[in-house]
Amino acid sequence: MIQRPKHSTATPSLKREIFFGGFERGKTMPSHADLDRQIEHLMECKPLSEAEVKALCDQARTVLVEEWNVQPVKCPVTVCGDIHGQFYDLVELFRIGGNAPDTNYLFMGDYVGGSNFELLVSAVPTQHLLGREQFCGTCFLPSPFLPPSDVIAVCLTIRILLMAVMILKVLLLDLDILYWECGYSFTLWAVSYNGLNFREGHYVEQLKYRGYYSVETVTLLVALKVRYRDRITLTRGNHESRQITQVYGFYDECLRKYGNANVWKYFTDLFDYLPLTALIESQIFCLHGGLSPSLDTLDNIRALDRIQEVPHEGPMCDLLWSDPDDRCGWGISPRGAGYTFGQDIAAQFNHTNGLSLISRAHQLIMEGYNWCQDKNVVTVFSAPNYCYRCGNMAAIMEIGENMEQNFLQFDPAPRQIEPDTTRKTPDYFL
């Protein structure tokens, strides 16, 4: 039996005193012309400069600090699920749903990173120095369903287990240098066996992670939010956190594209100000994950202090991590964070708060959207062919002026630069 925690009585504190009129003293607010130029630049999948990103995040913070934990949204509006850095699919979403500001959008989080990471295992002979490389294998591993605090430990465990497999394979192939690429920046241990030496960091390549364009994706969405603040609503997903972005690629992408972690810091600091949920015309409750046993009412959510890193547990964590379930009541989530909640929980929450529907994201849906729990809950997923190999469709949900719902499904967009995901997986990794 799951014990129901008492709901938080924390007083909201948006820390407005740290701003001077919402923007740093002495800084000039970017003009609409500047923002339009930046958006046009970003639509071509070109990142902004570090200075431009900093200024953009500063201005976005002044917008978000004025928004609420339960941000009110008017219809018509188009509701979108996970994006996970799939930039060209985001552009396709705008093509299907309409460009801002002609269409109002509500995004339910997970703008960066992917939920899977790719581990490329390669063995290269000494001729690598002459430019000849032999590829030996690739292994795709699902993200562990564990609390964020344990993800790194699990990755390290995977590293230890695969190390033995890779060394054995190298010995069998009589190769003498080994390296890998991974969504979390691992390097090799120093290993010596039968005269074969594996030196720390030797021939370690850059990561290849799912998403590939998280920087451009989140920058574009933030720029659109700043330019059309009343037309774009961005809520927080579980990937909009410091720990998760360090594990699933956004941190490393920022390092690779900017040469330092400053841009990562600008965005992760900004993520703390994203609203936790949104409410369309007081009827459709939108959030990334799901419900919490600590939060019976929308007023409970309004009372939370959201300006912080996503905790490992508690009501704020639950809103970003929980999932609906076929079983009634509350359950322990297999993700290790948040809860599962049954139809009875969703129906009671909707009744208590005068809601007609809970709209959420957070889960891969092969058709792009899925009704569940007697239509008390709908899941929307907006990253087609997730991780560039799941084969799923994506969907967005249009809410009309009379609150009618219409779903638009779409396939992946053709990519300007197709990620290399066609390498054959050897039998020993299947």
Q: What is the pLDDT of residues 153-168, one digit of tens each?
A: 444 555 555 555 555 5
Q: What is the pLDDT, as a whole number, of residue 248?
A: 86
Q: What is the pLDDT, as a whole number, of residue 158?
A: 54
Q: What is the pLDDT, as a whole number, of residue 160?
A: 55
pLDDT band at 139 (very low <50, low <70, confident <90, very high): very low
pLDDT at 193 over 90: no
| 239 labelled catalytic | yes
Bigger pLDDT: 12 or 339? 339
Domain boundaries, the chain: 32-115+210-409
Q: What is the pLDDT, as a whole number, of residue 31?
A: 84
Which residue among 7, 84, 239, 362 is the active-site one? 239
What are the residue ranges of helices labelled H in 174-237? 214-227
Averaged pLDDT of the chain: 78
Residues whose CB is less than 8 angstroms from the CB of residue 66 and which lie 6 or more positions away in sequence, other chains included: 22
Please, what is the angle between helix 262-271 and helix 214-227, to 10°?
50
pLDDT cut 90: percent of the chain above it: 64
How does strand 116-124 pair with strand 177-181? Answer: antiparallel
How large is the average pLDDT for residues 83-92?
A: 96
> How far apart are the C-alpha atoms of 243 and 248, rounded to whole Å?
9
Lowest-confidence pick of 67-81, 149-163, 263-277, 399-413: 149-163
Q: What is the pLDDT, as a whole number, of residue 177?
A: 34
How large is the average pLDDT for residues 358-381?
A: 98
Bigger pLDDT: 389 or 195? 389
Structural contact between residues 61 and 307, judged by C-beta atoms closer than 8 angstroms: no
DSSP string computed for 374-416: TTTEEEEB--TTGGGTS---EEEEEE-TT--EEEEEEPPPPPS
How large is the average pLDDT for residues 357-380?
A: 98
Structural contact between residues 376 and 361, judged by C-beta atoms closer than 8 angstroms: no
Entry pTM: 0.74
- On the 0-12 / 13-18 / 19+ scale of CB atoms within 10 A, 18 is exposed
How large is the average pLDDT for residues 223-227?
A: 98
pLDDT cut 70: percent of the chain above it: 67
**What Å distances lie between residue 86 and 43, 111, 141, CA to CA?**
13, 9, 19
Strand runs labelled E in 175-313: 177-181, 191-193, 196-198, 232-234, 277-280, 284-287
Bigger pLDDT: 10 or 130? 10
pLDDT at 384 over 80: yes
Q: What is the pLDDT of residues 247-304, one digit of tens each?
A: 888 999 999 999 999 999 999 999 999 999 999 999 999 999 999 999 999 999 999 9
How large is the average pLDDT for residues 64-77?
A: 98
Token pair 């370690």 is found at: 204
Q: What is the pLDDT, as a whole number, of residue 388?
A: 82
The top-level CATH class assigned to 32-115+210-409 is alpha beta
Bigger pLDDT: 74 or 152? 74
Bigger pLDDT: 311 or 153? 311
Q: Is 193 helix (H, G, I), strand (E, B) or coil?
A: strand
Q: What is the pLDDT of residues 88-129, one digit of tens each?
A: 999 999 999 999 999 999 999 999 986 443 333 333 333 332
* Paired tokens of 51: 């200075």
